[in-house]
Structure 1
Amino acid sequence: MSNPNLQTSVLDPHRFPPELLEHIFRHLALRDLKSSLLVCRHWRDQIVARSKLMTRMVLRFPENRPLDRRHPGVWQVLARNVSFSCCSVISVEPWWATFGSKLVRIDLNKVVVGLPVLLAMLRQTAKLKELSIVDSIVLKCEGFKGNLQLNDLEVLKIERPSPGLLNVLKRGCSRLKVLHVTKRSVTDEPDLLELVRTVQGTLKELYAELTETLLEAISEMDQLKLTGAGLGHEEDTTLTIEFCRLFTCVTILTLKGVGISGSILAEIGQLLPNLKELSVSFDCLTIEPLSMQFLRTMPKLENLSLVGDPQHFKKLGLIHRSWCPSLKQLQLKHIALNPDETCQFLATSDQVKSISMFQCLLPNWTQFTQTLGTLPSLEQITMHHIVVPEWPRIPTQSTNHSVKSLKLKIQAIPKPHLETLINSFPKLQTLHLAETRTVDDATIQLIRNRMEQLRHLAIQSCPITEKSVRAFFLHPRKLEKLEFAFVAGVADHEVERLRQKLGPSVEVSLKKHAEKENYITFEVRPDVKDFTLPIIGACVAILLLSRVVLKMFK
């Protein structure tokens, strides 16, 4: 029933200033934001006018389907980002002109396209800010003498450029801020140098294989003030050290190549006093342990990523004597951890919010998980394909109330250790369990009963049955999203029953096969009726939130 004392104008969204609506929409989940586009023209116009809101949506064209004049095209979609992958683009007429005028980002991944078609696409995307061309073939680039202007382009990423492609783009990107050109050929060097020289006044980040020619050229560019760099080298680290001497203001650094050692990293840390993000990929030839003493030369480091070689684990040495007071994110891949030293290091890193480990060797599971329980700022944990030589007989539990996200993909983890680990984080909001053979119906029931704050649960390739689906027929508490993928014991009709039972307040999905989609994806559920309650929920959320914000403005 309506409240007779409440004026209609109070609920009129037109009376809210655009800035207030944007603030409100920013707090909506992506699903509700997409639903809000359908409420009314005023809301749609407000959302569409805000690039920060629209960049959350991506339109993906299907793989292995050519785009030619027979393609129906895209006419009404409001997406600002578009992605083409594993396809050939023959023609995008006549629909691209309208669609492309709204785009701010284009991704081409393993695409074959002729230069005339690509030029036609780019010339009709006047607002384009990001362009990515990765492992794609652009035909007929040689001998190009035309003019292409991408005056708003800020980010350009080209991996393995086609012959002549850099020549096409080098004069038309006058305001670039970020440039990636990797896996280039020797013949591309002059065009790359000319491109960097053209944008030296605006360029802030450069990612490229470092050569003597490139280093010499950029050392003479007085306007070039880089704050981020990704450097690859084939022989030694001398060029990398010289680069760091030239650009001491770099705060983001990615390194890949032969001969990277702890002493080299320590020298880099002394040259770059403001370094905040460091990512290092080691070669398979350097087998000695990596001394972590270099961290003492990087007191402002916040993000650290270390990647070994898939053929063997990279060992970390002297990590317990290291100190990294500002560290917030730690990512390790193909790394062998010394349990005592690693745990001592983590114990002094009380600012760490995220720990990610992929295919790492973890000799002492108990000691490591107990350390996780002592980190006061830890929010996210990801562990995929962790190797534990010997699992302890009895699990030991520690509790950490700050952890909100746990993503596991450990095939052989014993069931007691799995359940103990989950119970260690009672405030979990996101839980992903994949390819773990000890996840069964009892595990799901435990999660259902104990994880009161859980909002997103994803189960992939685990031996559960329909009992796990039925476990959520009762009130799902705060659950918003439930995903089942590649689970043979779950039937479509059981998931559909659960979907009908819970209604659109909980997004329930089941993925049975890995076939490629043969239609354009806008990340919107195809059944329009499913939007009914989310729209109502979005409206209620916006009205309630607007009241609070209006009181703050008074």
Structure 2
Amino acid sequence: MGQSPSTAVTSPEPYHRQIHFSSDDSVGDGARDYTAYIPDECLAMIFHFLTSVDRKRCSSVSKRWLRVDGESRYRLSLNAKAELVNRVPSLFSRFDSVTKLTLRCDRRSMSINDDALILISLRCSNLTRLMLRGCREVTEIGMAGLARNCKNLKKLSCGSCMFGVKGVYTLMEHCNFLEELSIKRLRGVDDGVSTEIVGNGVVSVSSSLKSICLKELVNGRSFEPLIIGSKKLRSLKLIRCLGDWDMMLETMGKLNPGLVEVHLEKVQVSNLGLRGISKCLKLETLHVVKTPNCSDLGISDVAERCKMLKKLHIDGWRSNRIGDDGLIAIARNCPNLLELVLIAMFPTGLGLEAVVSNCPNLERLALCGIGTVGDAEIKYIATKSVALKKLCIKGCPVSNSGIAAFGFGCPNLVKLKVRKCRKVSGEVVQWLREKRGPRIPASAIDENRCQVSQPLAAIVTR
């Protein structure tokens, strides 16, 4: 009817988009470098999402990427060998915005000396965090130069160094903004030096310190004036430091009532020191780990006065001096307790039941190496601990009967870890998964190690 063509019409050829690349800003074969249109600020933001290895690779792409990477690199970790001094000018000409610096040297090598540290401090005037590890050639002279050039320093961590207490106090004299101080295995500590510094009134400049951590010091008591003189101190950690700390803790309790966290581990502290800590009415976290001279009396003093306590870790070291009396005092006076860790103690069901009944907000509980905790105590915890989210049971005489109680109780439990409990077998794993419903995925089960995750993160029997 005249609607069809009389001759065949050839189909049109497929359309091919033609892209023409300019020879400007090319990276090869005429292809345009579209990253050239990305502003330096955006490129630097992209670099922040990359790992250190990827950033090194990106810095070799072009001169621009090399420059942007250097200008936006705020964290730098260097091998602090003696030959580093020759590379300081060129290295920090590229990385001129570093605010967090780590200088680490191994035991077999000679570290940087005072001149190198002072030269680095001149190049990093905006430094806020510094970590020194194994820099044994640095003395108090280098620390004094560092303090004069980096007055905005807020965090210092040093370990296995030789500049001693005098170097630390020298830095404190100039760095008025220092907030965190961590010292580990520092050599050259001397009580006479600290006494001389106190007489000169240097300790008064430590008013900005909020956190002090002393670890593995032969005579850490040289820092007692610094601890006592830090009026804004909120966190104190004493770990494996020799000397009697009772008098210092008692004085600190009178002068620093705003302390929030105290960590005592393998130090010579008795109930007298705990009584001093009890004067810190805002205390929220207390770790009493392997201090055999502490007993229920000291724990009770802390509980009766520190009613804001939220986290309590006790490692009785099998001395059997902290037990039911201390736990009952905690239960009566600390209703806001969120976390409780009991290790190598001998409490009975009386103390545990008091804590579970009187601390309704308890979310995290760990019972490790406690031979007096059996199925009856575990069943009581499963029945009464409604807010409990994480539970760890290690080396306790519990069986499948006690663990099975969590199939009915603790509705908010998201992680259960059972280790070195010989009476607990893998049969309870499958039963718990079926009982608690589809919230436990099948992929979360490891049949070889008897693990369950989400909401019961792990059950391990050995």
For the superposition of Structure 1 and Structure 2, which TM-score range results when normalised by the shorter chain?
0.5 to 0.7
Query: Where is the helix percentage greater, Structure 1 or Structure 2?
Result: 2
Q: In 2 relative to 1, CA 220–341 (structure 1 residues): closer, same or farther, beyond 3 Å? A: closer
User: Counterpart of 1:128?
Assistant: 49
Identity of aligned residues (%): 11
191, 211, 224: which one pairs with 2:113? 211
Residues 300-325 of structure 1, C-alpha deviation per residue, up to 9 Å, x if partnerless?
1111112233xx56335764993322
- Is 1:197 aligned to residue 103 of structure 2? no
Aligned to 2:402: 494
The CA distance in 1 between the partners of 2:226 and 2:420, in whole Å, is 46
* Residue aligned with 1:482, SS: strand
Q: Is 2:157 aligned against 1:240?
A: no
1:509 match: secondary structure: strand
Displacement after TM superposition at 1:147 (Å): 6.8
Q: How far apart are 1:405 and its partner, in Å?
A: 0.7
Kept in 2: contact 1:250–1:275 (CA 8 A)? yes
Q: Aligned to 2:365, which of 457, 460, 467?
A: 457
Residue 403 (structure 1) shift: 1.0
Q: CA RMSD in A?
A: 3.8
- 1:394/1:328 Cα in 2 relative to 1: closer, same or farther (>3 Å)? closer
Which residues in structure 2 correspond to 1:109-258 (within 5 Å)?
Answer: 128-129=49-50, 131=52, 148-149=57-58, 174-181=71-78, 184-186=80-82, 194-200=90-96, 202-209=97-104, 210-212=112-114, 214-215=116-117, 217-219=119-121, 221=123, 224-232=125-133, 233-235=135-137, 236-256=139-159, 257-258=161-162
| CA shift in 2, pair 1:422/1:395, >3 Å | closer
2-structure distance, mates of 1:280, 1:238: 18
The match for 1:545 is none
Aligned match of 2:286: 381
Quote how far apart the aligned CAs of 1:385 are. 1.8
CA contact (8 A) 1:408 1:433 kept: yes
- 1:269–1:298 contact (8 Å) kept in structure 2: yes
Unaligned runs of 5+ in 1: 1-124, 134-145, 152-168, 515-524, 533-554
Aligned residues: 357
Shift of 1:175: 2.1
Note the 1:113-512 alignment, pairs <5 A: 128-129=49-50, 131=52, 148-149=57-58, 174-181=71-78, 184-186=80-82, 194-200=90-96, 202-209=97-104, 210-212=112-114, 214-215=116-117, 217-219=119-121, 221=123, 224-232=125-133, 233-235=135-137, 236-256=139-159, 257-261=161-165, 263-283=166-186, 286=189, 288=191, 291=194, 293=198, 295-309=203-217, 312=218, 314-316=220-222, 319=225, 322-335=228-241, 336-362=243-269, 364-365=270-271, 367-388=272-293, 397=301, 398-411=304-317, 412-414=319-321, 415=323, 418-419=326-327, 422-423=330-331, 424-434=333-343, 436-463=344-371, 464-487=373-396, 489-495=397-403, 497-502=404-409, 504-512=411-419
Q: SS at 1:148's partner residue?
A: helix
Distance 2:411 2:153 in 1: 47
Query: Any idea what the Cα deviations from partners look like across 1:249-291, whole Å, max 9, x if unmatched?
Result: 1111223312412x44333222111111112224355464783
Offset, 1:247: 1.0
Counterpart AA for 1:260: G
**Who is 1:160 aligned against?**
none
**Secondary structure of 1:249 counterpart:** coil
Asked if the contact 2:236–2:261 (Cα under 8 Å) also holds between the matched residues in 1, the reply is yes
2:101 alignment partner AA: L
CA distance in 1, matches of 2:248, 2:324: 26
TM-score, structure 2 as length reference: 0.66
- 5+ residue gaps, structure 2: 1-45, 61-65, 105-111, 422-432, 442-462
After superposition, the C-alpha distances for 1:34-80 in whole angstroms (9 at most, x for unaligned) are xxxxxxxxxxxxxxxxxxxxxxxxxxxxxxxxxxxxxxxxxxxxxxx
Aligned equivalents of 1:470, 1:443: Cα separation in 2: 15
Equivalent-residue separation in structure 1 for 2:391 and 2:380 (angstroms): 12
1:242: Cα distance to partner?
0.9
**SS in structure 2 at match of 1:386:** coil
Query: Are 1:360 and 1:386, in contact at CA under 8 Å, matched by a contact in 2?
Result: yes
Q: Give the TM-score, by structure 1 length.
A: 0.56
TM-fit CA distance, 1:446:
2.6
Matched residue SS, 1:304: strand
Corresponding residue SS for 1:474: helix
- Distance in 1 (CA, whole Å) between partners of 2:101 and 2:226 is 33
Counterpart of 1:67? Answer: none
Q: In the alignment, what sits opposite 1:143?
A: none
SS at match of 2:406: helix
